[in-house]
A and B are shown apart, each in its own frame.
Chain A
Amino acid sequence: MRQRSVILFLLAFFALSSLVFAAEDSHQGTHEHVNLGEILSLYSTIPFIGILLSIALLPLFTPEFWHHHFGKVSAFWATAIAIPLIVAHKGVALHSFLDILIADYIPFIILLWGLFTISGGILLRGSLRGTPIVNTIMIIIGTILASWMGTTGAAMLLIRPFLRANSYRKNRAFMVVFFIFLVANIGGALTPVGDPPLFLGFLHGVPFFWTFHILPHMLVAALILLAIYFVVDTYYYRREVHSNEMDEGDKKPLSLVGGYNFIFLAGVIGSVIWSGLVNWGEVNTFGVVRSIQEWARDGFIILMGILSLVFTASQIREDNEFTWFPIKEVAYLFAGIFITMTPCLLLLLAGSKGALGFIIGTVKEPFHYFWVTGVLSSFLDNAPTYLTFFTSALGNFYPSTPEPIAVSRLISENPTYLMAVSAGAVFFGANTYIGNAPNFMVRSIAEEAGTPMPSFFGYMLKYSIVFLVPVFIIVTIIFF
């Protein structure tokens, strides 16, 4: 069995490699000083599509296999593109991979690790009585917090108190679903620490506070969803409350434990903002030029995470049921995602000269960007989807222009496109359990606590299509 898997792996690997090789052969000899984006073939995007589809489908259909082999799946797709490209284009390809790993992957994972570690040290004990008003207020607080401690952090902080408060209620599934909509997704739209795609934008030159431009979009979506939630919750509450009153003894005053972690959280946010404001010069690492303040920011975030680990009692993390598994999974998967994404981004940056020119030709209007980024973010990971269409917008308006200049011109001349990509990537993550990492974490915690959650398709059919899609149509009509 094991032998057969190895043989299958090697066959698939060589088949893919030969596809890429065949396409690159015609360009042999021209790899010195070439723009890879202009010569790479469409085949070079197969590993990227493959890894995204693997992440979307394998956990659904072969959960056991996925749980034990996700690292190998990621490594397979990464090597399937990295080896042939480096053999064919040597230094140019190697530099592209190093660039994305050093400039994007490392800071991206460090930020996620920092936020995950620090927010895992904050625990909200006690329980309120889950009335429609209390529930709505909790969701509002979560929505606000999400932009400042990350959607994962806010969702993990509040989901257990939210479930405890409503443990006496009969209909709870819709509550958790709206919690996912708002706290685990839409709430993270305002800052680069709110949701991973926005941090990727920040790493590529979008100013920290620029994302506040999505505030009107977020307010419209959040207010409509909150109003719907309040109405639905009130309807069920009135039907249930007389038959299922919460035991007074179950109510315990809320108390925040590990609150000092908010200081470390402020340190993380402060360091991200600060790194976008100062200029300490640049340093060359393995041929990749990166600013010193970015390295300093990464170091500072690691320091904040370590301080959180040192000062937070292990009891708090245990009560939070904290495990490293989710961040480990993200670290393995994103290493593969970033490597496989490299040719895709190069093709898009080349604009109409690249093999993905047809996307740039098709996706033209802001609402195209909003919906295409969004629909893909619903099923694939929203961070690479964001970067793909962010790059696509740059390729569309400013082909072959150096990225810092192109980003700054996009922000000043065509900001609606960036807003569409940002809002699409963040908002649509709520459409499925796999659209954003905290979605499945919240689902798992709710199910473990005895809340019967809808199935994968039930979630989409009963909730996303009914509530989210109309809201996104309204956002499109108003803003795009």
Chain B
Amino acid sequence: MKISKMLFVSEFEELWLDALQSLMGLRKAGLNHVVFLHVIHREKVAMKRGTGYLKQEERKLREIADIRFIDWAETLFEEGMEVGAHIVIGNTVPKILSVTEDEGVDLIVTARRKRGKLEELYAGSETSDLLRRTVKPVLIYNYLSQSGKVGENPFERLLLGLDWSVSSERVLDYVLALKGAVKRVDIIHVLSEKAIGKLSKKEAQKLEREHKKRLNEVCDVLTQERFDARPHLYIGNTEEQIEKGASEHRVTMIVLGTRSKSVWKERWSGSVSHALAERSELPILVVPAETK
């Protein structure tokens, strides 16, 4: 796994140049190419009852995006980065997917995205839709407050959530590829309260030991690669405990894996990574399953 090319999706309402600059720490992990994507929503220019398709409006919106991307690109050129840009008309998720495939990017950076109520009812939010459909890691990056403040280096202190699934291994590989950009990794596994409750005290202690052992093994792998890694075993609701862990250890980003699920299955059984991507105040990096 490598991170040399990044897709930065901006609608200029939620991710600006400062957010992009805060990710430049990834250069230490091999990042050398940034591709900008701006999607002009079709509704802004098409299907107008009185006027049909607004070609002039499209031209204007393209021009605005173009000017901004040129400005951003100049900043990146100065740092020796390669830059590309796409300004397209359509729906955000499919356009992100097609540009990701065309450009062969290693990481997608986007803001949290909502949909209309009717669409969310059957397809979930755009964020969930993207996470479900892409095989590339996605960094859901939001400003920490209304004032639009971003952390200086979101990759500095990671909270790595592991559930011992296949996707967990992929997440670990991805974190290893971030060597150089990351200072500390807090590894967390959350045991379900319900599962523990069914066990005798002895069995519960045994289970606890097993998980601690696995956490220590992961810790060792990271330490060998010169990461400052620390294991944590929590008990309770996974989403809540991950958020609690993130707060306690003052991490700058949460990193999770996600399994491949159909939209209906996901809506029925839920997904920790998708739920956290929807609500976490911290940036969250979701590494999806390898196949979809």
Contact = CB atoms under 8 A, between A and B. Distances in A.
Given A318-B91, A440-B47, A324 B118 contact: yes
Interface in A413-435: 433-434
Contacts of B263: 314
A448 interface: yes
Contact of B47 (A58, A66, A315, A326): A326
Contacts of B43: 323, 325
Contact of A448 (B49, B53, B123): B53
Nearest to A113: B118
Interface residues of B, number: 27
A95 interface: no
Contacts of A306: 122
B42 A440 contact: no
B90 interface: yes
Chain A residues touching B, majority SS: helix
B50 A434 contact: yes
A59 interface: yes
Interface string B29-50: 0000000000000110111111
B80 interface: no
A63 B47 contact: no
Contact of B94 (A318, A326, A441, A447): A318
Contacts, number: 76
B279 interface: no
A285 interface: no
A92 B145 CA distance: 53
A371 to B, nearest CB: 25
B49 A440 contact: yes
A453 B55 CA distance: 12
Nearest to B116: A324
A109 to B, nearest CB: 13
A479 interface: no
Interface in B20-72: 42-43, 45-55
B264 interface: yes
A440 B48 contact: yes
Contacts of A364: none
Nearest to B115: A324
A125 interface: no
Given A314-B123, A447-B55, A59 B49 contact: yes
Contacts of B220: none
Identify the interface centre among A309, A328, A453: most chain B CB within 10 Å of its CB.
Answer: A309
Contact of A456 (B50, B89, B123, B264): B50
Contacts of B123: 314
Interface of B: 42-43, 45-55, 89-91, 93-94, 116, 118-119, 122-123, 129, 133, 263-264
Minimum-distance CB pairs A-B, first 5: A59-B50, A447-B53, A59-B49, A60-B50, A443-B52
23 contacts: A59-B48, A60-B50, A60-B51, A67-B48, A306-B122, A309-B122, A310-B122, A310-B264, A318-B91, A321-B90, A323-B42, A324-B116, A324-B118, A325-B43, A325-B47, A328-B116, A433-B52, A444-B46, A444-B53, A447-B53, A447-B55, A448-B45, A448-B46
